[in-house]
Amino acid sequence: MLRDWQNRCIKHATDTFSKQAGYLMLACPGAGKTIAAAHIAKSLIDNNKVDYVVCFSPSRIVCQSIEQTFEHVLSRKFNGHLGALGMSKTYHSLSNTTELISNLSNSRVLVIFDEIHHCAGDGDSPSNVWGMQLLVTIQNLATYTLSLTGTPWRTDTLPIPFAKYTDPDGNILCDFSYDIVDAIKDKVCRMPQITAIDLQHVVVKKNHQLQTYDNLQNLLEEGDVSYQSIIKHPEVIKHLLSQSVEQLDSLRRTSPNAGGLIVASSYLHALQIQSILSGQFGKESTLVSCRLDDSPELIEYFKNSQSEWIISIAMISEGTDIPRLQVCCNLTDVTTELYFRQILGRVLRVTQAQSNFAYMFMLAEPQLVEYAKRLDEAVPGTYTYQKSAHLLDSIDNSTSKELPNKTSSSDNSKTSTGLNFDSLNTNAHQLGSKNQVDELVLSSFKSQILSSYLIYA
């Protein structure tokens, strides 16, 4: 049975296609964009508007999931072979568009772009190869285009293909929007509880001198210590894992199928996390990475199993559908709002067998904390598209609105532990100029629960 927002979107899209050839759907991660897109395609086919459907998505895993969904909704094969109603391909396949151009020129085709923000570019700014291929070869050839996104902006603020923007503000205009606040109210997405873990007492030893800091922000700003090195500190990993493991253990007492996602910054970091998870907590885990050829198969196996933990390096971010994931331990060094929302979206999908709450544990890195506090903004004001030459310099942080302060906190003490930075195997280029610290000692942590204000939004 379709959700109310999906029914409204399908009707609106079908009506809109009678007036225009392109449609941009914004729906928060976990809301069910792919199913809505499949029914829009079915409506166009049933009404004799198109004969064929081509879907593009960021990865092979997402591509396979789309194929399965469309086959179910259309009751026809969707593998691109004889007798199929369409096909699902990755954006990477656009590097060779000869056959696609021929098909678009001679057929009535609906082209669907999943996570359209992967493609970017305008006449004045550089763009990736996917964006250029889309702009040049598809826009004027497809009968209709349907663009899907849960995060309709890019960290580099480049414009998204087929999107409309206000002038002169540069805000994106979506044909249909369904944000996380609406999804939570409708019980379509889980209510996220984000716990930001701060460093309460830190001692940095450098050149035989000791300096004490009482929070992560001061440490990053004044302590000549990089965020990349902090997330690799064994005590930081242990503490975040302890909170995450405790939460998942609690959930699995009533929902044995609940799973947890750990997002790592690199392959070596993932191995470090996996070792601590096993050695300290006795938990086995599945590790997936673009380094591993069998990662898609491992993800599919984890999705259908009752295993507890999966550790990912840039493999499970957007579009990867593992509904049983309910806890996320965020240990990546990527601190963009786009990535933050994408990985949070992996634990928001509602299932009948699990509670309607999702949990993320992360360090209280100032940017991440700010992102958590403005989850009610579908498109944060700091990411409006700027077409001027001063693209990156024009980001105005003052546009973020003030949010209500509805947080709770609790302290959790830890015994003091020292770390020699030589033991981290941290690449010098990752640390940049912040790699001269001799020793970092952490003695305690404190936790703050964020984003509970969403229930009042």
- Would you identify the CATH topology of the domain 191-423+435-456? Rossmann fold (3.40.50)
Nearest to 449 by CA among 409, 414, 419: 409
Cα distance between residue 205 and residue 94, in whole Å: 51
Angle at which helices 4-16 and 33-46 cross, to 10°: 40
For every residue of 326-340, DSSP letters joined together read EEEEE--S---HHHH
- Residue 333: which region, alpha, beta or left (left: phi > 0; alpha: psi -120 to 50)? alpha
Tokens linked to 161: 């293909």
> In a structure prediction context, what are the per-residue pLDDT tens digits for the chain, which is 457 residues long?
899 999 999 999 999 999 999 999 989 888 899 999 999 999 999 999 999 999 988 888 889 889 999 999 999 999 989 889 999 988 877 766 667 777 777 889 999 988 876 565 444 444 455 555 565 567 778 899 998 888 655 544 555 555 565 445 555 678 999 988 889 889 999 999 999 999 888 888 877 788 888 889 999 998 888 999 899 999 999 999 999 999 999 999 999 999 999 999 999 999 999 999 999 999 999 999 877 778 888 988 999 999 999 999 977 655 567 899 999 999 999 998 888 888 998 999 999 889 989 999 999 999 999 988 888 776 555 443 333 333 223 222 223 333 333 333 444 433 333 333 233 333 333 333 444 555 777 767 888 777 544 554 4
- Looking from the CA of 45 toward its CB, the CA atoms found within 13 Å total 21
CATH 3.40.50.300 domain position(s) in the chain: 4-178, 191-423+435-456
Nearest to 390 by CA among 173, 170, 174: 170
Under 8 Å CB-to-CB from 407, ≥6 apart: which residues? 448, 449, 450, 452
Q: Is the pTM higher than 0.85?
A: no
List of residues 6+ apart from 66 with CB closer than 8 A:
34, 55, 57, 88, 114
203/216 Cα distance (integer angstroms): 12
d(CA 277, CA 286): 11
pLDDT, position 169: 52
Between CA 195 and CA 184 the distance in angstroms is 18
Q: Which two tokens stand for residue 457?
A: 């939004």
**Whole-angstrom Cα distance, residue 326 to residue 309?**
11
| Stretch (H or E) spanning 442 | strand 439-450
- Work out the burial of residue 172: count CB atoms within 10 Å of its CB; fewer than 13 is exposed, 13-18 middle, 19 or more buried: buried
Among the residues of 282-365, which ranges form H helices? 295-303, 337-345
CATH class for the domain made up of 4-178: alpha beta
What pLDDT score was predicted for residue 450?
Answer: 75
Nearest of 278, 313, 314, 320 to residue 299 by alpha carbon:
320
